Amino acid sequence: MNRGVLTRNYKCILSTFTRAPHIYPVAKSFGRISALTPIRLREYASGNTKEEEIVTRIESMRATAHLGGGINRITTQHKKGKLTARERLDLLLDPGSFREYDTFVEHQCTDFGMEKNKIIGDGVVTGHGTINGRRIFVFSQDFTAFGGSLSKMHAQKICKIMDKAVLVGAPVVGLNDSGGARIQEGVDSLAGYADIFQKNVLSSGVVPQISLIMGPCAGGAVYSPALTDFTFMVRDTSYLFVTGPDVVKAVTNEDVTQEELGGAKAHTVKSGVAHNAFENDIEALQRIRDFIDFLPLSNREQAPIRFTDDPVTREDPSLNHIIPVDSTKAYDVRDVITRLVDDSNFFEIMPDYAKNIVIGFARMGGQTVSIVGNQPLVSSGVLDINSSVKASRFVRFCDAFNIPIITLVDVPGFLPGTAQEHNGIIRHGAKLLYAYAEATVPKITIIMRKAYGGAYDVMSSKHLRGDINYGWPTGEIAVMGAKGAVEIIFRQVEDRTQAEKEYIDKFANPIPAAQRGFLDDIILPATTRRRIIEDLITLKHKKLPIIYKKHDNMPL
Amino acid sequence: MNILTTRTRVVGTRFSANSVIINQKNFAFYRPSIILPARYFHSSLTTYYANIQGPPQSVDYGKTFDKILIANRGEIAVRVIRTAKKMGIKTVAVYSDADARSLHVEMADEAVNIGPPPSNQSYLNIPNILQAIKSTGAQAVHPGYGFLSENSHFVKALNEAGVEFIGPGESAMADLGDKIQSKIIAKQSGVNTIPGFDGVVKDSSHALQIARSIGYPIMLKASAGGGGKGMRIAWDDQEVLDGFKLASQESLSSFGDNRLLIERYIDNPRHIEIQVIADKFGNVLYFPERECSIQRRNQKVIEEAPSIFLDQLTRKAMGEQAASLARHVGYVSAGTVEFLVDPQRNFYFLEMNTRLQVEHPITEYITGVDLVELMIRIAANQKLPMTQEDIKFHGWAFESRVYAEDPEKYLPSIGRLSKYIEPQSLTDKHEVRCDSGIVEGSEISIYYDPLICKLSTYGETRDDAINTMLKALDSYVIKGVTHNIPLLHEVISNQRFRSGNISTKFLAEEYPGGFKGHVVKDESLHELISISAFVHAKRDLRNWSWIDGNGTSFRDNLNKNAPNKWDLWISFNNNKDIEPINVKVEKTGVNEEFEIIMPNFPRTIISAKWPLETPLINAHLRIDNQENRTLIAQYIDPLPIGFRLQYVGTKFDITVHNQRQHELSQYMIEKPKQDLSKVILSPMPGSVVSLAVQAGDLVAEGTEIAVVEAMKMQNVLRASRASKVKKVNVKPGDAVAADEILVELEDVKQ
């Protein structure tokens, strides 16, 4: 091999690397050059051979790093329908925007023969890049290198970009694909996890943290995604569990597959650990790009505003008819949401979990807003343990990142029963109450239909510092529905139909609340979009001082 | 509410203007446009006024009624209310619980609830409707079509209550409503009926004699056999002899009856019908024909007026026969005589419909007459304000029945119309008319006919009307339910249809394996890909257009980094036969023009009027710097990667990958589809009528599992293979969604 030629060759491809770092062109050109180049070319070598030598070495290492665990492991990864760590970054970030840190980092373990077994980069690719021009920090675990297992240096690389992200105020996106702890490193690996956990906690509420689980994520590793703001999964190729099927079998004698135990379905439908799941790697990374577009880069920034063609003054007459005449009839609150927001574009969070409440991001007048809506289609939109927990974490995220909260209320109350009471509906319901009460971002509330009992108070009511509270003419604000109320008030009376009618006349409308100033206005549904956007503009510079405290003590 | 008021006002003026013309009997100046419902034109009021030259004038309709009740729902109720309003008649709508907020209720002066959603408890409930009449004091009832429109008991009940029925008399209705009776009456009144013989055929020579007297081809079958059972067709003497032998044997052995029916067999018939209208003074008029040959299972799909097939003589003969039938039974009001017409222009009576026909708008289009107005005036004892000589026609009109149904499986679709924009007339000729009873946000429910709209277009020539129809279908936005626009568009743009060579067998012949949607190729592929590339580029640019919040003071610089070139791979999610196509797109100039380069097609410049994420894309293509094309496509929904477009009526799921996504897409694994042989899915939203199995039952292939009903259609669901019932998820009476798993099956363990 002729070093001079190689060096020059590497020089020309050096720029290619930094722009678009993928490995195959390199491997290809490497082969071609060596095959075609005549042997005697040494005379062209420059005088400074030492520098050239180093450059050659650097670039050769870089090329190796780009291959991760090697071609064979990459092929295996592909066969599972999974992309490599670097391919994923190509799809997540704007082309050519990725700037890698710590390419050359290697592990320092010397036990169990590990000193002879090193992979440049140590199983994770870290750095920053842009999504539609906005800077984010990323780490992408490389399953081809030591199964993406977490070593001390691996963790250190991740911590570095997390620190940088907090420093400059940019979100962190983690692409998780790791077999777990690097067992050979022992406590060093555990320390690595803990370091990441600590940074997750310190960055929480400072920059948005997003985890995309793209492979296995087991044991202690699961707690990092759990600490981040949003966890997304890829269907059929990602798993999250504290202990795998083998341990489960040994301990509880349960037969369970990985998919059943901790697949995307388990976590998006049953546990509520994951916020959504996507079909495959390509779709997941594209959707994460769309998702990041909604978020401010840090808590120092306002909710972002993006161009839209949807007029801010658009009125929608069909909203006037969207609430069924019969107040016991269901409708899909998402029909209301998509008619209110820009371009009908609603990014729903946790669409398959606790469906009796709908949460997600949208834009109004171009600005990101968050939507919380009771869903009459599922259990009449009642508040229960799961829906309270689902919504409260979301409300807190939005409050931390200056995203206005729009609450659409149609709630018959809290769900009764021993299952709820014994599992702590009091404690969990209090979370939502707490979250709304402490939130200082602009809070706009629309009472579409029912707002009964304590649930009325909870759902961003005037009394919890709601900035703007509207009622639709179909709004009913009362302690309870007419039938139940009349049974209590007129316990002695036989025929309560007259009383019921009287109760409906008095309370099954938004007027009493408006008379007391608990509703700022009663508006025609068609005008809702316009009114909300006007209010968002009015509230743009809302400031609400927060009394100093070390931190609050919300019910958990 | 403002919108409604405006709409009403415009309707009134439009119809008034029309009547001026009728009263002047100035038929040469007929403008089909001016009888259009004005719902479309509220945005172009000024154009409309300019068009009819001067403000509307008040018209004397003679003495009619103060208040009428419309015993119907949906588009026909809306249609009748419009005419009533222009005539200054107050209107009463009736509605079921499901229709409480529908358009006809909103438009009427008064509305009365007549019961729960099922039509036999509401729109067919005569006592409730009589009660509504009584409580509102309506003097007359227009029945629309369907429901009680051909129910002579209803007419009788109205007569007894002293309320006028806007339609034919009880006896004429009863006589013509009976298929056998009506044929006899038709024959008596000199109407061509299908020549035939019904009785004992003595021997084969007798059969031959009968066949020859009828004329070939003929059809033979057992008199006792219903429908087309045991039907044999003979084209010559030999076939008659063979057919006779078999048919008479069969007749004896199956029915113990040797009577045979021998009839002229009409091969490739056209369905052509004549509109008649008669007053109470014996005056009967007939109108130019409507051709309704495009049918599916005897359901009309597309109608036109006039028929391309009829000559003046046939038209007159048919009209006169229709009128003579009406005269013979003392018919009053509007009715329609349906004929089958064979390729030699022989025509034969089929039946008479004693009501206003669904497809009446196309007759109104080409004659300028408001049929509902005439019906009301006749009911009020007025004489027909015109004579046969006054009825002339001009131009050509088509009607497409837009249904909420899957055109491939022909299953009804229900749901809320999340987006609904009707096509508009683009010129002052008002060449597009939509008769619909719904607005955006309306619900298509399981209880009634899933008709969304009757879309009619008008043109000076047949081609003009066809081209207008294509454009109207292209720009008709319906989201929230599946609709049959793909089929309508495909038929209207079919070359054979355009040539006029149609018959009632058209759909079966053109789509022998069933309709499968438009298949893109050549030009339409090029156009669709160009539009897709444009949509992708526009959306991508939008993603970079940060107004605030991209986290840097260098934001202007960053926004300038937005791409202006794209290297895309476009593929069709619902058509894997088409390989991904590489398209190079470049933004050129300041006018939002994009250059499209794709293999095998010339360089194309595309620009379009498309407010981001809205449904209608009006695109302009400049191909190879020579040819200019304008086309309309629809942006239906965004998809996780790509979007759904509607083009030439059909929906396409378009995946757009960039270069890198395309390279890596080879590693993505195609997910296996759900094993459908192990579950019984609900084919449509509806309710479970019955369940024939319970968990643990063993079922053979073809065993009935459940019956699901929607829109009066019962679907029997059967096991696709022998298996054991694992779980039953529903019970009778449950409402189910489309594709909901009703019953789970499992393999039978040996």
Q: Could you read off the pLDDT of B11-64 as tens digits, one per residue? A: 333 333 333 333 333 333 333 333 433 333 322 222 222 223 333 445 778 899
Q: Do domains A68-292 and A317-475+510-538 have the same CATH topology?
A: yes
CATH top-level class of B522-665: alpha beta
How close, in Å, is residue A43 to chain B by CA atoms?
A: 40
**CATH superfamily name and code, B196-264:** ATP-grasp fold, A domain (3.30.1490.20)
Q: What is the pLDDT of residue A83?
A: 97
Q: What is the pLDDT of residue A302?
A: 92
Q: Which among A282, A317, A325 has the least Cβ separation from residue B661?
A: A282
Does the pLDDT at position A275 exceed 90?
yes
Q: CATH number for the A317-475+510-538 domain, one of 3.40.50.300, 3.90.226.10, 1.10.10.10, 2.30.30.40?
A: 3.90.226.10
Residue B629 is encoded by which pair of tokens? Answer: 């094309």
Closest among B480, B473, B466, B189 to B326, alpha carbons compared: B189
Q: What is the pLDDT of residue B561?
A: 72
Which residue has better confidence, A450 or B749?
A: A450
Substitution target from B565, B667, B671 for chain A, most A beta carbons within 10 A: B667
Q: What is the pLDDT of residue B657?
A: 96
Per domain, the residue ranges of chain A are 3-65, 68-292, 317-475+510-538
Closest among B529, B530, B623 to B578, alpha carbons compared: B529
Average pLDDT over residues B423-443: 88
Confidence label for B727 from pLDDT (cuts 50, 70 and 90)? confident
CA atoms of A502 and A542, how far apart (whole Å): 41
Does the pLDDT at position A499 exceed 60?
yes
Average pLDDT over residues B249-254: 74
Average pLDDT over residues A353-365: 96
Substitution target from A282, A342, A401, A541 for chain B, most B beta carbons within 10 A: A282
Rg over CA atoms, chain A? 28
Asked if B441's CB is within 8 angstroms of A317's CB, the reply is yes
User: Is residue B715 within a helix (H) or strand (E), and if so which, with residue range?
Assistant: strand B713-718
Q: Which among A95, A169, A306 has the least Cβ separation from residue B660?
A: A95
Q: Choose the catalytic residue: B250, B320, B351, B586.
A: B351
Tens of pLDDT, residue by residue over B179-212, are: 778 888 999 999 999 888 877 788 888 888 888 8
CA atoms of A298 and A302, how far apart (whole Å): 8
How close, in Å, is residue A527 to chain B by CA atoms?
A: 13
Burial tier of B668 (Cβ tally within 10 Å: 0-12, 13-18, 19+): middle
Query: Quick count: other Cβ atoms within 10 Å of Cβ B626?
Result: 7
CB neighbour list of residue A188: distance below 8 Å, 6 or more residues apart: A109, A151, A152, A182
| CATH placement of domain B676-746 | 2.40.50.100
- Range B270-510 has CATH code 2.130.10.10: no
CB neighbour list of residue A139: distance below 8 Å, 6 or more residues apart: A124, A125, A126, A157, A158, A161, A172, A173, A174, A175
Asked if A278's CB is within 8 angstroms of B640's CB, the reply is yes
Average pLDDT over residues B329-347: 94
Burial tier of A554 (Cβ tally within 10 Å: 0-12, 13-18, 19+): middle
Closest among B456, B444, B458, B480 to B615, alpha carbons compared: B480
Asked if A296's CB is within 8 angstroms of B549's CB, the reply is yes
Residue A63 is encoded by which pair of tokens? Answer: 């090329």
Q: What is the pLDDT of residue B682?
A: 82
CA atoms of B565 and B180, how far apart (whole Å): 72
Q: Are A153 and A181 in contact (CB under 8 A)?
A: no
Confidence label for B630 from pLDDT (cuts 50, 70 and 90)? very high
Per domain, the residue ranges of chain B are 2-175, 196-264, 270-510, 522-665, 676-746
Asked if A305's CB is within 8 angstroms of B551's CB, the reply is no
Q: What is the pLDDT of residue A375?
A: 95
Q: Are B277 and B322 in contact (CB under 8 A)?
A: no
Query: Quick count: other Cβ atoms within 10 Å of Cβ B54?
Result: 8
Angle subtended by helix axes A333-340 and A528-538, to nearest 10: 60
Query: Chains A and B: how many Cβ contacts under 8 Å?
Result: 126
Cα–Cα separations (whole angstroms), residue B319 to B160, B277, B315, B388, B453 = 34, 11, 6, 10, 29
Asked if B551's CB is within 8 angstroms of A283's CB, the reply is no
Residue A380 is encoded by which pair of tokens? Answer: 């009449």
Q: What is the pLDDT of residue A31?
A: 37
Q: What is the pLDDT of residue A39?
A: 46
Q: Which among B3, B548, B661 has the least Cβ separation from residue A302?
A: B548
Query: Quick count: other Cβ atoms within 10 Å of Cβ A315?
Result: 14
Q: Is B551 on the interface with A (CB under 8 A)?
A: yes
Average pLDDT over residues A240-267: 93
3-class DSSP state of A522: strand
Average pLDDT over residues A372-391: 94
Q: What is the pLDDT of residue B703?
A: 78
Does the pLDDT at position A342 exceed 60?
yes
* Cis status of the peptide bond prior to B486, with omega within 30 of 0: no
Q: Are B322 and B286 in contact (CB under 8 A)?
A: yes
Q: What is the pLDDT of residue A481?
A: 81
3-class DSSP state of B395: coil
Residues on chain A touching B548 (C-beta within 8 angstroms): 302, 304-305, 367
Asked if A343's CB is within 8 angstroms of B612's CB, the reply is yes
Confidence label for A504 from pLDDT (cuts 50, 70 and 90)? confident
Q: What is the pLDDT of residue B39?
A: 33
Tens of pLDDT, residue by residue over B84-107, are: 999 999 999 999 999 988 999 999
Does the pLDDT at position A35 exceed 70?
no
- Tokens 């992200």 locate to A165
Residues on chain A touching B571 (C-beta within 8 angstroms): none
Average pLDDT over residues A387-402: 97
Confidence label for B271 from pLDDT (cuts 50, 70 and 90)? very high
Q: What is the ipTM of this complex?
A: 0.89
| Nearest-by-CA chain A residue for B559 | A133
Residues on chain B touching A78 (C-beta within 8 angstroms): 667
Asked if B641's CB is within 8 angstroms of A282's CB, the reply is yes
Q: Which among A133, A235, A305 has the least Cβ separation from residue B547?
A: A305
Q: Are A450 and A410 in contact (CB under 8 A)?
A: yes
Q: What is the pLDDT of residue A210?
A: 98
Residues of A annotated as catalytic (active site), given as ranges: 219-220, 454-455
| Nearest-by-CA chain A residue for B103 | A321
- Range B2-175 has CATH code 3.40.50.20: yes
CATH top-level class of A68-292: alpha beta
Which residue has better confidence, B219 or B334?
A: B334
Tens of pLDDT, residue by residue over B576-593, are: 788 999 999 999 877 789
What average pLDDT does chain B have?
85
Does the pLDDT at position A76 exceed 90?
yes
How close, in Å, is residue A498 to chain B by CA atoms?
A: 23
Tens of pLDDT, residue by residue over B523-561, are: 899 999 999 999 999 999 999 888 887 655 454 555 567
Instruction: Name the least confident of A324-338, A487-501, B378-392.
Output: A487-501
Residue A458 is encoded by which pair of tokens? Answer: 């909870």
Instruction: Name the least confident of B4-13, B76-85, B341-350, B502-511.
Output: B4-13
Closest among B300, B287, B222, B289 to B254, alpha carbons compared: B222
Tens of pLDDT, residue by residue over A139-167, are: 999 999 999 999 999 999 999 999 999 99
Which residue has better confidence, B231 or A208?
A: A208
What average pLDDT does chain A have?
89
Distance, C-alpha A482 to centroid of its chain? 41
Query: Is beta strand B650-658 parallel, antiparallel or unpaired with respect to B627-638?
Result: unpaired
